[in-house]
Amino acid sequence: MEVKILSEKFEIENANLLKVAKEHGAYSTLDKLFSMEPVDVTEEVKKAGLRGRGGAGFPAGVKWGFLPKDTGKPTYLAVNSDESEPATFKDRYILVRDPHMLIEGIIICCWAIGCHDVYIYIRGEYTTQVKVLQAAIDEAYAAGYLGEKVAGQDFRIDVTVHRGAGAYVCGEETALLESIEGKKGQPRSKPPFPAVEGLYGCPTIINNVQTIASLPFIMTNGAEAYSVYGTEKSAGTHLFGISGHVEKPGMYELPLGLPLLEVLEKVAGGVWKGRKLKGVIPGGSSTPVLTAEEAKTVTLDYESMAEHGTMFGSGGIVVLDETVDVVKLVQNLIHFYHHESCGQCTPCREGLGWMKKIIGKLLEGEGTMADIELLRELCDNIEMKTVCVLSAACTMPVRSYLDKFRHEFEAYAKDRVNSAPANVELQRN
């Protein structure tokens, strides 16, 4: 089931070094690239059906097309490597194992959008990744792939690695821009959208690492070769980080559209220790949970996930076995998002703290059925009332757990109905 497009060089020793990377085809697309008109590059990316791999899945080429023409201002590219979504660990493989694929993708994108200044925003905790990436960038400069004349062309590209200080919200595109500008990492109200007014008030494209790293394959092999993989609306491959209660957790590159359960069984070895599947978090902690029943029919693509009331997200799949205490999971989830709330806007700042305290009260045996109702209601009251979607990243999954595993919450409530599953009772004792 696995394919090797993005991960082609992952297992090659020292593929992070320019010499090795070049031996395996790195930067081989540049002659072709510079022979093409930028607009044709964009069209090729559109034709390939490449969707943003950060989580939202917006078509990359279409996003590039939103850049206004002839503003007289520079255009910036911000590569989002702030991989902070819990359960998501795909981009770091690219950063460490094949950073030149990312740099080559950056060159392709810059040519397409007319950009000369690139910021790679990378999460602060990724110390190894920063070192390896910076070394690769330095090599690329020395070899003339970056700098004043990229690959001998009259085209300048400068790349700056900007380390974040460890804030989840800085993965939100406008908070990322604020952070690069040296301000507190807080999101901006949209509109204006970054493509029109982004970094330093200039048109800016923000793409995820995996999105950019997908470009060399498309340029080398053409849009059709890319769209052979996946489904009609969800083309290509994706790096899936599978974790949780599976026998073989890890990072796997798969074409989009495969049945989830089949992937779990055949690729990840199935639920560990022979236990039953309780649920699956399909694309990072912010995506609503799928029950074991729902997991039977869902496929790994944007459309199927939406049809099942959840989201494709970042491809960070978490498998939950039958022993998982959903209430504790939700507490962990709320704790994370509350901690990461930047505190800018009221519903997120105040609401997530309230939710955290309610779930804590429930777990301490002090909660009531009314608290469960209130928790559920707060999800609705907070969601989509905020500047960015950080609070929704908490309320959407929490709502899904409350709706799909309600009996487990009720088991913790003081005046609970007699519907607690045995495992929850066991854990409480």
d(CA 113, CA 71): 13
Rg of the chain over all Cα atoms, to the nearest angstrom: 22
Instruction: Report the candidate in 383, 388, 422 with the shortest Cα–Cα distance to residue 402.
Output: 383
* Interface map 351-370 toward another protein (x if CB under 8 A): xxxx--xx-xx---------
Which CB atom, from 152 or from 365, has the smaller least distance to another protein? 365
* Listed ranges 29-37, 120-128, 150-158, 348-356: which one lies at the site for another protein (CB under 8 A): 348-356
Residues 241-260 touching another protein, rule: CB under 8 A, are none
* One character per residue 383-402, x = contact with another protein (rule: CB under 8 A): -xxxx---------------
- Binder among 246, 320, 327, 345 for another protein (CB under 8 A): 345
Q: Which part of the chain contacts another protein (CB under 8 A), choosing from 78-86, 270-278, 332-340, 414-422? A: 332-340
Nearer Cβ to another protein (108/311): 311
**Which positions ≥6 away from 100 have C-beta within 8 Å?**
15, 16, 18, 21, 22, 26, 27, 136, 139, 140
Chain positions 162 to 181 lying near another protein, rule: CB under 8 A, are: 167
Instruction: Considering the complex, state which of residue 371 and residue 410 has its C-beta at the smaller distance from another protein.
Output: 371
Q: Smaller CB distance to another protein: residue 4 or 66?
A: 66
Backbone angles phi, psi at 116, to 5 degrees: -120, -10
Roughly what angle, to the nearest 10 degrees, separates helices 326-340 and 390-404? 170
Region 267-326 residues binding another protein, contact defined as CB under 8 A: none
Secondary structure of 22-81 as H, E, C letters: HHCCCCCCHHHHHHCCHHHHHHHHHHHCCECCCCCCCEHHHHHCCCCCCCCCCCEEEEEE
204-208 β-sheet, strand order: 158-163, 117-122, 76-81, 204-208
**Binding of residue 193 to another protein (CB under 8 A):** no
Instruction: Decide whether 104 or 371 has the Cβ nearer to another protein.
Output: 371
Single-letter code of the amino acid located at 129 = Q
Q: Which stretch binds another protein (CB under 8 A): 11-19, 75-83, 106-114, 335-343?
A: 335-343
332 binds another protein (CB under 8 A): no
Interface with another protein, residue 189, by CB under 8 A: yes
Examine residue 123 and tell whether it contacts another protein (CB under 8 A).
no
Q: For residue 219, state whether it binds another protein (rule: CB under 8 A).
A: no
Say how many C-beta atoms besides its own lie within 10 A of residue 145's C-beta. Answer: 24
Torsion of CA 124, 179, 206, 167, to 10 degrees: 40
Report the SS3 class of residue 285: coil
Q: Which stretch binds another protein (CB under 8 A): 34-42, 151-159, 341-349, 392-400?
A: 341-349
Q: Stretches 16-24, 130-138, 265-273, 347-355: which one binds another protein (CB under 8 A)?
A: 347-355
Residue 382 near another protein by CB under 8 A: yes
Residue 356 CB partners (closer than 8 Å, separation 6+) = 331, 334, 335, 338
- Quote the least distance from Cβ 182 to another protein, whole Å: 13
- Largest Cα–Cα distance in the chain? 74
- Cα(160)–Cα(242) distance, rounded to whole angstroms? 31
* C-beta of 96 vs 394, nearer to another protein: 394
By CB under 8 A, tell whether 160 contacts another protein.
Answer: no
Instruction: Return the range that interacts with another protein (CB under 8 A); candidates 19-27, 293-301, 378-386, 394-402.
Output: 378-386
Pick 203 or 347: Cβ nearer another protein: 347
Non-local (6+) Cβ contacts of 252 within 8 A are 2, 239, 240, 242, 263, 267, 268
The crossing angle, in degrees rounded to 10, of helices 369-382 and 346-363 is 160
d(CA 399, CA 383): 10
347 binds another protein (CB under 8 A): yes
Length of the chain, please?
Answer: 429
Q: Which range binds another protein by CB under 8 A, 77-85, 299-307, 337-345, 402-410? A: 337-345
Cβ proximity to another protein, 285 vs 386, nearer residue? 386
For residue 192, say if its preceding peptide bond is cis, omega within 30 degrees of 0: yes
Shorter beta-carbon distance to another protein: residue 181 or 350: 350
CB of 371 to another protein, least distance (A): 7
104 versus 383: smaller Cβ distance to another protein: 383
Residue from 4, 346, 403, 419 binding another protein (CB under 8 A): 346
Strands 204-208 and 158-163 turn out to be unpaired
Q: Residue numbers of the site for another protein (CB under 8 A)? A: 167, 184, 189, 338-347, 349-354, 357-358, 360-361, 371, 374, 381-382, 384-387
